[in-house]
Amino acid sequence: MKDLKMVDLYGQYFRLKDEIDAAIQRVIDSSAFINGPAVKSFAGHLAEYTGAAHVIPCGNGTDALQAALASLDLQPGDEVLVPDFTFIATVETVALLGLTPVILDVDPDTFLIDPATIKEHISPKTRAIIPVHLFGQCVNMASLLNIAREYNLKVIEDAAQALGTWYTFPDGTKKMAGTMGDIGCTSFFPSKNLGAFGDGGAVFTADEELARRIRSYVNHGTQKKYYHERIGINSRLDSLQAAILDVKLSHLDEFIKSRQKAAAWYDEQLAGVSFLQTPVRASRSTHTFHQYTLRISGIDRQNFMDYLKNAGIPSMVYYPLPIHRQEAFSRFSFYNGYFPVAGELCQTVVSIPVHTEMDTEQLDYITTNIKKY
């Protein structure tokens, strides 16, 4: 059996080696390493794939969030609603820009923001909300967008883990993660659904003026070279990454199917295991399984993970500490506050390998061992 990994980046590369090597060679031959034709080509294909009117590539998903927030003309102290159970970047960028994060606890089954909890956290200073489509499933966007409209909140989707996930609105309209709010952000960190061979990110919007501001922000606040209209940052997707991503984008739907196939195996094989809960599906959303995350009960998590490790099965905890307990946020009023669900999840979740290269032998080995435990 092939070695088990949380994500098999080499295996995926090896399958596409000829295509990827040729794409890399083309960039080297052109030597257009920054803003070369590969970047434009990839951005165009990504716009087609997602249905986003404007795609602005940038250096990573964190910069995408920062650029999105910076484009909204928010004032210091303005409040932005964010979930308690997410990667730090979602909240860090809010704080970095002098804005005030306000934390929402999450739904215990889907791990996502529950729109029913939003209104009680809205104050006269609330300006925006960042739904995070965690692990590959979309937040209940129909309800969230209704509340956002009612309270005039901007919506920035954090789709770093959900590129390729579809959401169906009650009227039957289908939209892709990242294209439903005012702005969407994604990441091409190597292990993400669409991963580069390094860092990368992109911002999506349907609003031409926001697109213009975001494009300017990630390019030193520039529209015309050497004329700077605002303080910006330097955040670019480099041409090599774009060329690799362009190849991989044409396989993204297959990648997603492979992840879903692995997840379906787990769902079926682990359904009756008493000490764990397999992932609960969010309604109206597909699941692209950036992570396959179990919730355990009645066992010692570390002992379970050690057992898996001894059997050669890696596992990880996303995330071990909720946002409201991160020392970085100790100056905010939510620090060490009462957010029982996220706190509980941090104690009980465990993610097992799910990636594009898993075969039945590996899956069977993993589920057989889990059942034995």
Ligand X SMILES: *Cc1c(COP(=O)(O)O)cnc(C)c1O
Q: Is 161 in the site for ligand X (CB under 6 A)?
A: yes
Write the DSSP symbol of residue 285: B
- Binding test (CB under 6 A) with ligand X, winner from 50, 66, 71, 86: 86
Q: Indicate the residue whose CB is closest to ligand X.
A: 61
What is the distance between the alpha carbons of residues 170 and 66, in angstroms, rounded to a whole number?
31
Task: Please report where in the chains the tokens 């409040």 appear, as a residue.
Answer: 79
Minimum distance from residue 297 beta carbon to ligand X (Å): 25
What is the nearest approach in angstroms of ligand X to the Cβ of residue 6? 14
Closest C-alpha to 360, from 252, 278, 294, 264: 264
Query: What is the footprint of ligand X within residues 45-74 (CB under 6 A)?
Result: 60-62
* Minimum separation from the CB atom of position 199 to ligand X (A): 6
Does residue 137 belong to the site contacting ligand X (CB under 6 A)? no
Q: Which is nearer to ligand X, 115 or 201 (CB)?
A: 201
Q: How far is the CB of 346 from ligand X (least distance, A)?
A: 15
- Measured from the Cβ of residue 105, the count of other Cβ atoms closer than 10 Å reads 23
Structure tokens at 267: 């769902």
Shortest distance (Å) from residue 187 CB to ligand X: 3
Q: Is the Cβ of residue 92 or residue 182 nearer to ligand X in the bound state?
A: 92
- Give least dist CB 163 to ligand X, A: 11
> How crowded is the C-beta side of 221, counted as CA atoms within 13 Å?
7
89 near ligand X, judged by CB under 6 A: yes
> How far is Cα 136 from Cα 192, in angstroms, rounded to an integer?
10
Distance between CA 99 and CA 79 in Å, rounded?
A: 6
Stretch that binds ligand X, among 67-75, 86-94, 215-223, 252-260 (CB under 6 A): 86-94
Spell out, one character per residue from 95 to 134, where the chain touches ligand X: x when CB under 6 A holds, - when not: -------------------------------------x--
Distance of alpha carbon 163 from the chain centroid? 7
The answer to whether residues 357 and 12 touch, using CB atoms and an 8 Å cutoff, is yes
Q: Which residues contact 181 (CB under 8 A, 6 or more apart)?
A: 131, 141, 145, 148, 154, 155, 156, 157
CA angle 27, 33, 36 (to 5 degrees): 75
Q: Pick from 42, 85, 167, 189 the residue near ligand X by CB under 6 A.
A: 189
Q: How many CB atoms lie within 10 A of CB 210?
A: 20
219 sits near ligand X (criterion: CB under 6 A): no
Minimum CB separation of residue 84 from ligand X in Å reads 13
- Can residue 217 be called a binding residue for ligand X (CB under 6 A)? no
Q: Which residues are CB-contacts of 355 (< 8 A; sequence separation ≥ 6)? A: 5, 6, 7, 8, 11, 12, 258, 259, 262
Q: Which of 160, 203, 270, 352 binds ligand X (CB under 6 A)?
A: 160
Nearer to ligand X, 131 or 232 (CB): 131
Six token digits for residue 85:
């159970």
Count of other CB atoms within 10 angstroms of residue 19: 15
d(CA 119, CA 153): 11
187 sits near ligand X (criterion: CB under 6 A): yes
Which residue's CB is nearer to ligand X, number 57 or number 61? 61
C-beta closer to ligand X: residue 160 or 247: 160
Report CA torsion sign: 212, 240, 134, 81.
Answer: negative
Instruction: Let me know the angle formed at the C-alpha of 42 by 92 and 168, rounded to the nearest 5 degrees.
Output: 65
In the complex, least distance from residue 275 CB atom to ligand X, rounded to whole angstroms: 27
Residue 159 vs 370, nearer CB to ligand X: 159
165 belongs to the binding site for ligand X (CB under 6 A): no
Residues at the site binding ligand X, with contacts judged by CB under 6 A: 60-62, 86-87, 89-90, 132, 158, 160-161, 187, 189, 199, 201
